[in-house]
């Protein structure tokens, strides 16, 4: 099968783009109020393509899909007139466009993406929901969906790990959940120490392996930090036994080794994955033995790569990338 070609559409592609938009929106069910997509002209599309731009999907030079960009909101890239040729559905055209649109948002330094979806089109709502776009507000039949882009960054030292965590800490609100994963000694506790600095909680923050959970009270009348180690828990049900619900609503909860278990604590969370790039001086199986204290990063020279992925409505529209990736001279 010939591969799809997703290109940055310029003014010279206006006729093809408006043709795809008209064919796509022209076969949709009658809506009240009706869509304004059919009002688009070659001239109106050309103006957009000369400014914010758009995308055009082709196969063998045949136009299959298109969308227009909207840069009217600071830090966000809007998607408009997302259209696929009605005779070419179910061929991955829309998914290909969304993937390139997210890459474009990242390249332009945006924090995320927003778009409007009609509630009368449940299949369209489902399409965006499956791709981790979340409804953030509604105006009549228009549902606004948003998605915050994830990020990945190399962190070569423990001090920079703490600095990155302090930046994340600026975005946290009472009730937020962070799920930390990574090999033994990757730096999960060091990351949590940086969060503790940002939240100004009582320390010291150490691995809570043998108490499972430890609460650090705020020193500035802010949220407490609940630090959980789920390494020895066998199932999500065992996490319930710790009885975190009472504290979680008003605290920041950080769960190490919480993949597949801690997500039940909240419908929104940040997943923080810390990977070690290079040889490790510890057990290659990453096994935490009884009586073993997790080593701190810095005992080896291998850099860490931290990947942060937001999940859930709470993180839609949050300036995650611009806050975490800001130049340190901006502090």
pLDDT number for residue 66 = 98
Query: How open is the CA angle 138-144-148, to the nearest 5 degrees?
Result: 135
Over pLDDT 70: what percentage of the chain?
A: 84
pLDDT number for residue 246 = 58
Residue 308's φ and ψ, nearest 5 degrees, are -120, 120
Judge contact between 270 and 168, C-beta under 8 A: yes
Q: Is it the case that residue 279 has pLDDT exceeding 90? A: no
pLDDT number for residue 183 = 86
Give the torsion through C-alpha atoms of 282, 288, 289, 295, to 10 deg: 50
Q: Are strands 225-229 and 252-256 parallel, antiparallel or unpaired?
A: parallel
Q: What is the 3-state secondary structure (H, E, C) of the chain?
A: CCCCEEEEECHHHHHHHHHHHHHHHHCCCCCCCCCCHHHCCHHHHHHHHHCCCEEEEEECCEEEEEEEEECCCCCEEEEEEEEECHHHCCCCHHHHHHHHHHHHHHHCCCCEEEEEEECCCHHHHHHHHHCCCEEEEEECCEEEEEEECCEEEEECCHHHHHHHHHHHHCCCCCCCEEEEEECCCCCHHHHHHHHHHHHCECCCCCCCCCCCEEEECECCCCCCEEEEECCCCCCHHHHHCCCCHHHHCCCEEEEECCCCCHHHHCCCEEEEEEEECCCCCCCCCCCCCCCCCCCCCCCCCCCEEEEEEEECHHHCCCCHHHHHCCCHHHC
Say how far apart CA 234 and CA 251 lie, in whole Å.
Answer: 25
Over pLDDT 90: what percentage of the chain?
A: 68
Domains in the chain: ranges and CATH: 5-148 (3.40.630.30), 151-330 (3.40.50.300)
Q: Which of 21-35, 39-53, 63-77, 295-309 has the lowest mean pLDDT?
A: 295-309
Q: Is it the case that residue 64 has pLDDT exceeding 70? A: yes
Q: Could you tell me which residues are beta bridge partners of residue 178?
A: 254, 270
Task: Tell me the two tokens of residue 141.
Answer: 């039949």
pLDDT number for residue 159 = 94
CB neighbourhood size of 152 (10 A): 11
Q: Which of 133-137, 171-175, 291-295 has the lowest mean pLDDT?
A: 291-295
pLDDT number for residue 290 = 43
Task: Tell me the two tokens of residue 29.
Answer: 């069910």
The per-residue pLDDT for range 213-236, each reduced to its tens digit, is 889 999 999 999 999 887 766 554
pLDDT number for residue 102 = 97
Say how far apart CA 304 and CA 186 lie, in whole Å.
Answer: 7
90: left (phi over 0), alpha (psi -120 to 50) or beta: left
Compute the half-sphere exposure of residue 279: CA atoms within 13 Å on the CB side of its CA: 1
Judge contact between 245 and 267, C-beta under 8 A: no
The per-residue pLDDT for range 158-200, each reduced to its tens digit, is 999 999 999 999 999 999 999 999 988 899 999 999 999 999 9
Residue showing tokens 């806050």: 323
Judge contact between 66 and 57, C-beta under 8 A: yes
pLDDT number for residue 230 = 77
Q: Is it the case that residue 319 has pLDDT exceeding 90? A: yes
């Amino acid at each position: 099968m010939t591969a799809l070609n997703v290109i940055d559409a310029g003014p010279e592609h206006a006729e093809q783009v408006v043709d795809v938009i008209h064919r796509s929106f022209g076969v949709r069910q009658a809506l009240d109020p009706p869509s304004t997509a059919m009002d688009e002209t070659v001239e109106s599309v050309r103006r957009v393509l000369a400014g914010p731009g758009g995308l055009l999907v082709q196969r063998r030079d045949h136009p299959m899909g298109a969308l227009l960009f909207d840069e009217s909101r600071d830090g966000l890239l809007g998607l408009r007139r997302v259209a696929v040729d009605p005779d070419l559905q179910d061929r991955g055209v829309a998914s290909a466009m969304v993937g390139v649109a997210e890459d474009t948002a990242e390249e332009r330094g945006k924090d995320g993406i927003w778009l409007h979806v009609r509630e009368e089109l449940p299949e369209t709502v489902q399409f965006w929901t499956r791709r981790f776009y979340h409804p953030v507000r509604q105006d009549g039949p228009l549902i606004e969906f948003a998605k915050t882009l994830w990020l990945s960054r190399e962190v070569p030292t423990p001090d920079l790990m703490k600095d990155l965590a302090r930046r994340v800490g600026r975005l946290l609100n009472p009730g937020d959940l962070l799920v930390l994963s990574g090999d033994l000694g990757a730096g999960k506790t060091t990351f949590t120490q940086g969060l503790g600095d940002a939240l100004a909680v009582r320390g010291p923050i150490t691995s809570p392996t043998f108490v499972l959970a430890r609460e650090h009270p705020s020193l500035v009348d802010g949220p407490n930090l609940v630090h959980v180690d789920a390494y020895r828990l066998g199932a999500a049900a065992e996490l319930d036994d710790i009885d975190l619900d009472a504290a979680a609503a008003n605290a920041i909860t950080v769960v190490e080794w919480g993949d597949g278990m801690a997500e039940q604590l909240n419908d929104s969370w940040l997943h923080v994955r810390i990977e070690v790039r290079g040889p490790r001086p510890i057990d290659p199986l990453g096994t935490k033995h009884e009586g073993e204290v997790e080593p701190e990063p810095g005992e080896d020279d291998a850099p860490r790569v931290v990947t942060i992925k937001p999940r859930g409505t709470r993180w839609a529209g949050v300036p995650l990338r611009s806050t975490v990736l800001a130049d340190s001279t901006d502090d």
